[in-house]
Amino acid sequence: MSRAIKKIVIAGGGTAGWMTAAALSKLMGEQLDITLVESEAIGTVGVGEATIPTLVFFHRLLGIDEAEFLAATQGTYKLGIRFENWRDLGRDYLHAFGVTGKDCWACGFQHFWLRARQLGIAGDFGEYCLERRAAEEKKFSHLPNNGLNYAFHFDASLYARYLRQFSERHGVTRLEGRIERVDLQPDSGYIRALKLDSGREVAGDFFIDCTGLRALLIEKALHTGFESWSHWLPCDSAVAVQTESVAPPVPFTRSIARESAWQWRIPLQHRVGNGLVYASDYQSDDAARAQLLDNIEGKPLIEPRLIRFQTGRRRKQWHKNCLAVGLSSGFLEPLESTSIHLIQQNIVRFLRFFPQTEIRQIEVDEFNRLADFEMERIRDFIILHYKVTERSDTDFWRHCRQMSVPDSLAAKIDMFRETGHVYREGNELFVDSWQQVMLGQGLVPERYHPLVDTMPEQELADFIRQIKAGVDNTLAGLKEHNAYLDGFLSGAMRRAG
């Protein structure tokens, strides 16, 4: 398509639509005419309220003030996810955002820890991770030079509203309306315009599909196809409910494994987000609803909402003059809070490949290759939690233990089990997280790197002790999470006033 890209049409609002609008308008607004079409009558999934640290850098890229954002979205801080009953009943661990210990040029800290553990001079692996210790002690503070890795919990609907205001300040036009038809150019098959229920036609040079699981543009109009991953990730349903807060918010998400499901608990300033992700082959909707309501704290604020999904990805996330962002590009269950990360990655990746004068197939293909790789590696990380488990108390968990997994994941598991190594390929999202989760799930390497044996035992003991002392010293200077959050927000309000 040899035509200058000036008119961008975003189909759908919600988190995906307004994140896209905010980034495009802030970073390229002077060059583009951006219109977002959404209908108040169409709800959004909107249950993804937990994030990972990459969102901090996305906000910095856009110049978003953190205190303003937290106040507007009723947000809290997040240092990781506590996995309860995933390894086995009564066995919990916390996957934190930070790096554990100190690596050397040849091998990761886990090798030193494994030998020290054998010698009885090391504690639990998590003792050497500041973020994990802070989460466990419910502490938080901003530290210089990104010394504490963190993310957020927030109200997704309030976040979309906040980004809408941000985008409109930067020139985005919002149109209210339901999309009734997608018109294609007869010669090229490119999208020409959206036809709204009002009869209005919205033409554009490039279209971004943020219509969620319906995928009105990328799938229903352009028929890119869908690759299902449900044979590896059998959960296909969720029920969600919001409840009153009964305690101060903690700086971590809870993920609680049930008989054939898992439950999330996400603390905000004003309420708690709760949900149960389950496999309908093993649990009925009524049973899932009852299980969720039996395991919440605080009074429900809304009626529980049922969500259906299929795990997998669109075969092409960019096709012709259409890009899928958010759930329209595929679905991965929110076990590791990666949904918003995938939104922002497609946005930033699109900006890097932005087709200012024409759409070049070589760039489209590379975009899709990178998007596929990232989604596959996150998929593998999520499957890991189900596959590497000691649970065998129900048919669901026995199925998970016995199921086949992607070759890429099988290789990672075998490598860690046999050698203790975890290698990052390309621009993989997770690094230290693999060690934390595999050890947390009970997978302990059979050996460590031989380089570790060149370190005298006393030197190793001093090395381990110094790392823990550094964590202890920093931890002592952190404040209680809720008190710090209140002070941070009130301080920002005083400065603004």
**Amino acid at the residue 241:** V
Listed residue (434, 439, 407) closest to 423, CA to CA: 434
C-alpha–C-alpha distance, residues 395 and 69, integer Å: 44
**Is 78 one of the annotated active-site residues of the chain?**
yes
**Amino acid at the residue 117:** R
Q: Which of 6, 7, 26, 78 is catalytic?
A: 78
C-alpha–C-alpha distance, residues 16 and 467, integer Å: 40
Listed residue (395, 376, 411, 47) closest to 229, CA to CA: 376
Q: How far from chain centre, in Å, is Cα 111?
A: 28
Q: Confirm if 424 and 71 have CB atoms less than 8 A apart.
A: no
User: Could you give the residue ranges of the DSSP H alpha helices within 388-454?
Assistant: 395-402, 407-419, 432-440
Helix/strand/coil for 85: strand
Length of the chain (residues): 497
Token duo for residue 370: 């990178």
Q: Which residues pair with 94 in a beta bridge?
A: 82
For helices 407-419 and 432-440, give the axis angle rounded to 10 degrees: 80
Residue 47 CA: distances (Å) to CA of 274, 312, 398 = 9, 18, 29
C-alpha–C-alpha distance, residues 391 and 88, integer Å: 5
Listed residue (226, 223, 220, 206) closest to 322, CA to CA: 206
Q: Mind telling me the catalytic residues?
A: 78
